[in-house]
Structure formats: C-alpha cells, structure tokens
Amino acid sequence: MRYVAIACSTILLFTACITARAEDSKAEARAPRIVNIVNFIRLLEPRSEAITEDVLYETVVKQTELMKQHKLPGTFLLQYDALMESRYQQLLEGLPDEQFEIGAWWELPQPLVEKAGLEWRGRFPWDWHADVGFASGYTPEQREKLVDVYMADFKKAFGYYPKSVASWFIDAHTLQYMRDRYGIVASANCKDQVGTDGYTLWGGYWNQAYYPSKVNAYMPAQTESQQIPVPVFRMLGSDPLRQYDNGIGHTHQGVISLEPVYGDSGGDAAWVDWFLENFVDGECLAFNYTQAGQENSFTWDGMHRGLEYQFPLIAQLRDEGKVRVETLHESGEWFRRNFETTPATSMTYQSPLRDDTRQTVWFNSRFYRTSLIWQDRHLRIRDIHLFDESVESPILKQKITSPAVEFYAQPVVDGFHWSSREVLAGIVFKARIDGQDVELTGGEPEVTSPQPGELRILWPLTNVEGALVIELAERTMHIALEGLSADWWAEFRAAPDADLPFTRVQAKSLDCSFQSHDYRVNATEGSFTQTDGGFRITPDGGAITLRPAIGGE
C-alpha cells in the first residue's frame, strides 16, 4: 500500500506541475495589458489666477504620495520651466528610481525659447498655441537648438538624458533628432480628436503604439527602413466607444477619457469600472494599452477624487496579474524588444455601461485602421483610414504661423467628418430578402483571435439565417456571409453634404485623393460599383476582400 500511495502522490504532483506549467504558459501567451501612469508638469498656468505655482507644485506632491501609497510606478514629464525650478528637481530626485521615471514634456515656454537664442512670440510665459508653444512653430534648425538646450539642462539637473519625451504632438524631425543624438526610447502623443483646444489629430493609429514614419510622426511607417525606431504611445485613455462620435455635426469634440478631471468619464466610478473591465477582458492583439494620470494644470482639487478611485483599482488589477503597470521608458524598451515593425493590435469593448448596450471593436495595423460599432442590432463600419509612410507632414520642414494645427491619415470611411445628426456615415450590410432590400440585423458579436495578428468577428444574424464573418488582418479585410444564399452586399453611406475623397470607382479598385495625396483600395474579392452616395461592394463567391494599395499596386 505504501508503494501505491507513493505512486499516486507522484502522479498527482506530476499532474499538478503540468497544470501549473500550462497555466503559466497560458498567462505568458495572453497579450499583456499595459498601464502607464504619466503625469506632466508645468511651472505656471496663465489661464487662471487661482492656479498659482504653489498650487501646481502641491498637485505633483500629492500625485507622488498617492502613487507611493499604492506602490504604483509611473513617469513624471517636466516642461522646461518646471525643470529649472529647484523644488521640482529636489522632489523628483528624492523619488525611488525603481518606481519612478523622470522625462521631458515637449511644450516650449519662454525661458527655453530665449535660452536657445530665439524670439519669444507668446502671449504669456507659457503659450499653448501651436505656433508658439510647440515645435511646429519653429524651423527644423531651431527645433534642434531647443532640444540641445533642454537636454543639457536636464542632464545638469539629473545626471543623465531623459529616455521618454512626450507632447500633444512632436514632429518627425525633432523625434529623430532626439533619438539619434540623445537616445530617447519612448514618446507619446495626444489621442485622436477634432478641434479640441485647437488641435486635430485624426485617422492615425488608434490608441496603443506605433513606429512613426521618418517624414510624418503622426503616420505609422510600413517598412522598417522608413520608420523612426521610437514607439509613439497614444495618451489619455480615450473612450473607444463614445469619443469618436462626440461632437458629430460640430467642428470640435469634447473629451471622454480616463483623465480624472472629467466627471462623466475618468472621474466617474461606473465609467472607470467599465473602461478597465473591457480593457482587461476584451479581445486584443499583441497588447492592450492605456495611459492614466493627469497634468498638474488641472490641480489636485480637480483630479483627486478620480485618481483616488482609479489608482487603488489599477493596483488591485496589477496584484491580480491582470495588468502590467510600468514607466513609459519600460514600455518603450519592451516594444522595441518585441516588435521590429508596428504590430497589429485591437481593442474590444462589449460589456455595457449602465443602459448603453452599444459595442465596438478597433483594429490597427501598420497599413490601416478600422472601427466597427453595433447599435440597436445593427452593424456599421464607422471608420477606415489608410497609412502611407511617404506622405510628408506639413510641419516636417516648415513652421506654421497659425495657433491651430491639424494632422490626418487617408480616409476611406470617416464616421465623424462625413456624418450629420441625421445620417451616420459608414458601411452597412444589406441583403435582398423576399423581394425587399433590407439592412441586416444581428445579435451578440463574437470576437476572437484565431492566430497572432488576426481578429475574427462572427455576427449571428436575426432577420435572416446565417452569420456575417469579418476577418481583419495586417493587409486585408475579409467579409463573408455564412449560411445565407440570398444576394447581399456592403453599402457606403454619408451625409448629403459630406466632402468625400472618391475620385474614381472601378470594379476592382476605389481611387481616392485627400490633401493632394492619391491612394487606392483594391478589391481582391468582390467588386465596387458607384452609387449616388458613394459606392457599393458586391461579393464574389460569397466574399469580399479589401486590401489597401501600397506603392504601385
């Protein structure tokens, strides 16, 4: 009996080891969910007399205390005027290196501009207009002088050059110069938005991170040879469902993000729970990413309730092994180790927020992005933008002279700009049933990743038999209807006054032109036909496959 007991114990131990290894392997195989806490620091806030330099400093002190309390690592980014303030230097130097990173916030205040030997044209010592407070307001040669001054004073203060530099936007020339001369490994820019604070970034790699083109820091590169090898992470934890449609019919958007000062999103416990639940549980490719934290200009009074709810929750998710919390520098190093070129990524948000049952999926690759949204049993592809590393940014070689700046990718479907309050632009799916053309309706979509870099969406239909299957890969979008013998098609619609880029609709290609750049979508399966509202795509053999043209394709 003793031998039997030993044998049984050995078998149980062996089985337990195999199970544990399988679980470990499964955990390692799961795409990581990465959280960066990034707080950037300004010395002064000219927009409000109540926000004094002491108020701004105490805000940063409180942020460090809360992060220490929950043992959360994070990154503090210094604007130049704050960098030169001794109490910020002393505060940040006193933080444990293993927990905190100190980097650069690339807004350009008066002391930096004048120390670089340039004329200050601002209304205040810090001016947020794009032609004054950002690199876009200076020539490439002037941008290098500004970088040299900042880096020299940063090293004098801390003994090293910063590894992370972020801003609402940094041009490709500056980013390449910072990388080549000073060795930065990570950057970050603003979320996609239209007209917010006078800045528009629209159509780019949505959330996550990408390697930018050498001639356009907003545009993902398609080839390793034409990319700047510094990953650019998208900031602010944008609401994947609501931010995109916010402000349709207007020329600017509000903000729906993880930023704790916004009471209907980052400052609302229910929204934060919804955001992080989907962030952790939603199907994603390669990795999922979000940035928490807040600029000190919003003050501790404005942000503490949101942060005091968010940070313990993020710490709990970290302790449960559901998220990784790390500095921006660490995320940049990890990205470089794992991806030679920009990976395909996705965000899937399916669980409801209160009584809002809409669902969305975002997919990005180095070639294109797309977004799908389900509402009231209907599906709409609300966004397709193409990426082209050869499209030169308007600020690459020239400075701007206006207070606002805009960056775009190449639109094929733009559900914000081409919509009205009456008509939501996008691609919908129709079939001819019993002699009638009807829009397909369906139930709960199932989102899976059958293999790395590919996303599969199965949408069971309710008004006809069958299911719509959409497969998103790095270069293609494949659409098929399974189990339905009726005629079906994909149809584009837009508001009547939408300024559409379509120049020619041919059977196997859709030609477009936007901001003097021509581009094309090829149909390797299916065919395009022109309609009054734009185009229709009819399947071949029950399937549609779209592929953005690259080069001479």
Instruction: Kindly state the average pLDDT of the residues 162-185.
Output: 98
Residue 7 above 60 pLDDT?
Answer: no
The pLDDT of residue 372: 98
The pLDDT of residue 29: 61
Residue range 35-54, pLDDT digits in tens: 999 999 999 999 999 999 99
- Give CA–CA dist 244/284, Å, rounded: 19
The pLDDT of residue 433: 86
The pLDDT of residue 251: 86
Mean pLDDT is lowest, of 163-177, 365-379, 532-546, for: 532-546
99: left (phi over 0), alpha (psi -120 to 50) or beta: alpha
Instruction: Kindly state the average pLDDT of the residues 482-507.
Output: 92
- Give CA–CA dist 157/170, Å, rounded: 23
Residue 74 above 50 pLDDT?
Answer: yes
The pLDDT of residue 551: 67
- Give CA–CA dist 39/243, Å, rounded: 22
Residue 340: partners with Cβ closer than 8 Å, 6 or more residues away = 224
For β-strands 359-364 and 216-220, DSSP reports them as unpaired
In DSSP notation, 47-101 reads T-TTS-HHHHHHHHHHHHHHHHHTT--EEEEE-HHHHT-HHHHHHHHTS-TTTEE
Residue range 276-291, pLDDT digits in tens: 999 999 999 999 999 9
Other Cβ atoms less than 10 A from the Cβ of 474: the count is 18
- Give CA–CA dist 234/36, Å, rounded: 11
Residue (of 295, 273, 285, 311) closest to 208 by Cα position: 285
Residue 4 above 60 pLDDT?
Answer: no
The pLDDT of residue 41: 98
Residue 10 above 80 pLDDT?
Answer: no
The pLDDT of residue 6: 35
Whether the full predicted model's pTM is greater than 0.95, yes or no, is no
Residue 519 above 60 pLDDT?
Answer: yes
Identify residue 9 by its one-letter amino acid code.
S
Residue 199 above 90 pLDDT?
Answer: no
- Give CA–CA dist 295/474, Å, rounded: 35
The pLDDT of residue 89: 98
For β-strands 477-482 and 543-548, DSSP reports them as antiparallel
Q: Are 25 and 17 in contact (CB under 8 A)?
A: no
Name the 3-class secondary structure at 280.
Answer: helix
- Whole-Å CA distances, 457 to 286, 351, 469: 17, 16, 6
Instruction: Kindly state the average pLDDT of the residues 138-148.
Output: 98
The pLDDT of residue 23: 35
Residue 422 above 70 pLDDT?
Answer: yes
Instruction: Kindly state the average pLDDT of the residues 76-85.
Output: 98
Residue 233 above 90 pLDDT?
Answer: yes
Superfamily of domain 31-349: Uncharacterised protein PF12979, DUF3863 (3.20.20.510)
Residue 353 above 70 pLDDT?
Answer: yes
- Whole-Å CA distances, 249 to 246, 264, 380, 424: 9, 21, 18, 10
Residue 13 above 70 pLDDT?
Answer: no
For the chain, what percent of residues have pLDDT higher than 70? 94
CATH 2.70.98 fits 359-548, yes or no: yes
Instruction: Kindly state the average pLDDT of the residues 19-37.
Output: 63
Residue (of 220, 155, 213) closest to 184 by Cα position: 155
Q: Sign (positive/negative) of CA torsion 492, 496, 498, 502? A: positive
Express the helix, strand and coil content of the chain in percent, nearest 5 each.
25, 30, 40
Residue range 362-397, pLDDT digits in tens: 999 999 999 999 999 999 999 999 999 999 999 999
Beta bridge partners of 467: 460, 482
Q: Which residues of 80-108 are buried (b: 16+ CB within 10 A; e: fewer)?
A: bbbbbbeebbebbeebeeeebbbbbbbbb
The pLDDT of residue 22: 38
Residue range 99-126, pLDDT digits in tens: 999 999 999 999 999 999 999 999 999 9
- Give CA–CA dist 385/547, Å, rounded: 12
How far from chain centre, in Å, is Cα 392?
Answer: 21
The pLDDT of residue 533: 81
The pLDDT of residue 550: 79
